[in-house]
Amino acid sequence: MYMNDHAVALGRERALLQREPRFVKNYMAELDVEVILVPFDPRFCHIDMIFNVIADKVCVACVSALNEDFLRRLKDEKWQIIETSPVDVLYLLGNCLPSTEE
């Protein structure tokens, strides 16, 4: 999930975090893009179910499904977080596309 021109959140099931995705990190580093590993519970399938960027520093997120380090980073970077619940996630209420219209 692209966060901005220089950062991407890469969702990883907690069990798979042991196998670091070096290829992705190395490739993105060549493009001057930081890869942020975001562990999550596999019942949420993939990261855009629980974290979705909809505008510059604005996201829809299931806060209870994201880890504390990632949430702290979002808060430190002054992201506006529109919160959804785990039940909302099951109905795909946070899985949306950004609009370029103001």
Query: What gap in Å lies between CA 25 and CA 10, rounded to an integer?
Result: 10
Counting Cβ atoms within 10 Å, is residue 10 exposed (0-12), middle (13-18) or buried (19+)? middle
pLDDT tens per residue, range 24-36: 888 889 999 999 9
pLDDT tens per residue, range 29-60: 999 999 998 888 888 888 888 999 988 999 99
Task: Say whether pTM exceeds 0.75.
Answer: yes
